[in-house]
Amino acid sequence: MKILKTIEELKEVRNNITEGTIGFVPTMGALHDGHISLIKQARNENDTVIVSIFLNPTQFLPGEDLDNYPKKDEADKKICEMCKVDYLFMPDTSTMYEKEEVLIKAPNKSYILEGASRPGHFDGVLQVVLKLFNLTRPTNAYFGKKDAQQLTLIQQMVRNLFLNINIIPCDIVREKDGLALSSRNVYLNNEQRQEALKISKSLTKAGQLIGKKEFDVKTIKATMKEVMNSLDIEYIEVVNKDFEPIDTIELKNTIILVVARFGNTRLLDNLWV
């Protein structure tokens, strides 16, 4: 595995790849089994694999956890080596951004749900992802379904800007007890960690109801709230894959989204129906 730190190094490497498919996995580091599953899928499906680790400041709002975000560079390098990554791109902020930038504006649906409490967050996400796409020019790029709104917006950006990239959605990876893997899980104390299991339990309950032909969204949301009655729920929403609210479950076109807070930590999870 070769570690790249500069734009020039990455451009030289990319220009020398003239054959085969390129799989790309963008991350912010603190890699866990969820990231590893993306990297392994990219490795299985492509001739060359590029992973980026860049803690992107433009997607953090004032007061958020940018400064405290977990940073595990040495462990991350070892993980990428074990996963047989070909190139690991690890730029710093001055490499990726100039003092004045051309900005990317996310569409209106970026200001609901995650965007409602984090206005401008998705502008920063799309800005850095587009930069990384332009640098790596991948055949396939891999994103987890856990960040469902982010995934949908990246898919739209690829369509709208006519980017010749396949976006590959990857299933959520969970702990054995059901908690969705997240770099922010390390912020939870033991009591919060146990309470957080109610998030995935509520989604399991929703899936069971849908399996019994219960398609009324109000009923499903009410049942989920009962399961999570002791949690600080930020939202439970049911949308179609265009992120439009729906009243009735549409099979193969529905996402059930949950966010709950544990102190200063927000955990999100979802179920694709």
Q: Which residues are annotated as a binding site for ATP?
A: 28-35, 144-147, 173, 181-184
Catalytic residue selected from 4, 14, 26, 35: 35
Residue 121 a catalytic site member:
no
Q: Which residues contact 176 (CB under 8 A, 6 or more apart)?
A: none
**DSSP letters along the chain, please?**
-EEE-SHHHHHHHHHT--SS-EEEEEE-S---HHHHHHHHHHHHH-SEEEEEE---GGGPPTTSSTTTS---HHHHHHHHHHTT-SEEE---HHHH--SS-PPP---GGGGSTHHHHSTTHHHHHHHHHHHHHHHH--SEEEEETTSHHHHHHHHHHHHHTT---EEEEEPPPB-TTSPBP-GGGGG--HHHHHHHHHHHHHHHHHHHHHHTT--BHHHHHHHHHHHTTTSEEEEEEEE-TT--B-SB--TTS-EEEEEEEETTEEEEEEEE-
- 202, two tokens: 């509520």
Active site residues per annotation: 35
